[in-house]
Amino acid sequence: MYSNNFKMKKKVKPFIERSGDWFCFNCKNLNFAFRVVCNRCHISKAESLRINEKDELNKKKNEE
């Protein structure tokens, strides 16, 4: 059962690739860890995370 749980955990965050790479929630681009702004749309990493938080809130509203 432990191995099953591990697989599920991996599926929850498919955009976390390796060692600090980060996913831009504005343009869906995966950026290398050393980038401070998105390689494609040039918003900051913090800005991208803020967009993701809004997304999560909208999802929760839709589910209810």
Asked if residue 14 lies in contact with residue 40, where contact means CB atoms within 8 angstroms, the answer is no
Helix (H) or strand (E) holding 60: helix 45-63
40 binding Zn ion? (CB under 5 A): yes
Nearer to Zn ion, 27 or 52 (CB): 27
Torsion, Cα of 12, 14, 16, 21 (10° steps): -160
30 binding Zn ion? (CB under 5 A): no
23 binding Zn ion? (CB under 5 A): no
Query: Binding residue for Zn ion (CB under 5 A) from 27, 30, 37, 51?
Result: 27
Residues that bind Zn ion (CB under 5 A): 24, 26-27, 29, 38, 40-41
